[in-house]
Structure 1
Amino acid sequence: MMRHYELFIFEESVARQYYGQEAKLFHLFKEHEQARGEKRELLSKQIEYITKPIPALLLQQKLNEAFSYERGYIQHKNRYFLDLFSRGAKAELMIERRALYLTSDGEESTEAETMFFEVLRKCEPTFFALSLNEQRFGWLRPIKQQFPLSQSHG
């Protein structure tokens, strides 16, 4: 079964503000995908304002460090492939300027996508993944651990 995810890095203030209200962020992206014309342009600007550019070089370095020992790992330009032949799982990560796109396939296992998520969550504290098709979304790293609720917002 193919799974598709889009990943964005949110500004920390936005991540803090929307902690516990992640569905609102998901609906913004869903609305953006369905919108046309001026409304789509406006939503694109809103998304660009609340997200950060992808640190491609850092991610490339961390992915290569993490997977260089994997036989089924290949990097080609801005695409990273991980094929866990023996475990029946594979995934492809594509790095763009403002987002990452992860596609994974595996009937028995989600291990390949999980391995990508593990590396990414160590790189940036506010990575947010969403799957519009499956109506799934969430932080790669629980926000509660990063921003204790007792912390003053100053």
Structure 2
Amino acid sequence: MSMRRYDIILVNEEVAYMYNGMEKKLFHLFVENYYAKGILKTITDLQINYIKNDYHIDELDTFLFEALGKEDDYHYSFEKHILQLDKYKSYARLILSKNKIILYADGSLDAETMFFEVLRNFRPYFLAISVQSKRYGWLKPIRPLDMAIEY
């Protein structure tokens, strides 16, 4: 089994609700961007920049450290977080950058799941995408907006 890679993007709330149930369309945008060159790359970069939301990298870095710092299998180096769960044969490395979060994982899903849990508690609209394995999904399922009741 080869190492899994996920690009994790914080999507803005409006887009998250618009594309709830249509995540495949967002996934196709990221696939197109991954393989694009020239003007198509520029266009898809602009589209991705439009749908994503910013976060403070220092705030997320601290949030991850506070959530996982007491774990024996957790290692931290500036903006890089590692979980190596030997008893589960699970490894994951989370790298923070201004534009996206990249998660590399190997073995069982335990370590990557721990990172996903922490991220979903930081902000609700993270979308994880693995172009190579054709997998994608919200880290926290989005509930439909409540319908207004008229009297």
Under TM normalisation by the shorter chain, which class is it? over 0.9
Structural mapping, 1:104-123, within 5 Å: 104-106=105-107, 109-123=108-122
TM-score, reference length from structure 1:
0.90
- Identify which range, 59-68 or 88-97, moves more after superposition: 59-68
Q: Could you list the runs of 4 or more consecutive aligned residues of structure 1 that deviate by over 3 angstroms after TM superposition?
A: none
Check conservation: 1:54, 1:96, Cα contact below 8 A: no
Residue identity (%)? 39
Alpha-carbon displacement from aligned partner over 1:105-149 (angstroms, at most 9, x marks no partner): 11xx210000000000001111000111111111111111xx435
Aligned to 1:143, the other structure's residue is in SS state coil
What is the CA RMSD across the aligned residues, in angstroms? 1.4
Q: Could you say if the C-alpha distance between residues 150 and 132 of structure 1 is closer, same or farther in structure 2, counting changes exceeding 3 Å?
A: same
Q: Distance in 2 between matches of 1:123 and 1:72?
A: 21
Q: Distance in 2 between matches of 1:67 and 1:15?
A: 27
TM-score, reference length from structure 2:
0.92
Q: Unmatched 5+ residue regions in structure 1? A: none
Q: Could you say if the C-alpha distance between residues 25 and 116 of structure 1 is closer, same or farther in structure 2, counting changes exceeding 3 Å?
A: same
Q: Distance in 1 between matches of 2:15 and 2:69?
A: 34
Displacement of 1:78 after TM fit?
Answer: 1.7
Q: Distance in 1 between matches of 2:78 and 2:133?
A: 28
Displacement of 1:58 after TM fit?
Answer: 2.1
Aligned to 1:134, the other structure's residue is in SS state coil
Q: Distance in 2 between matches of 1:129 and 1:115?
A: 14
- What count of residue pairs does the alignment treat as equivalent? 148
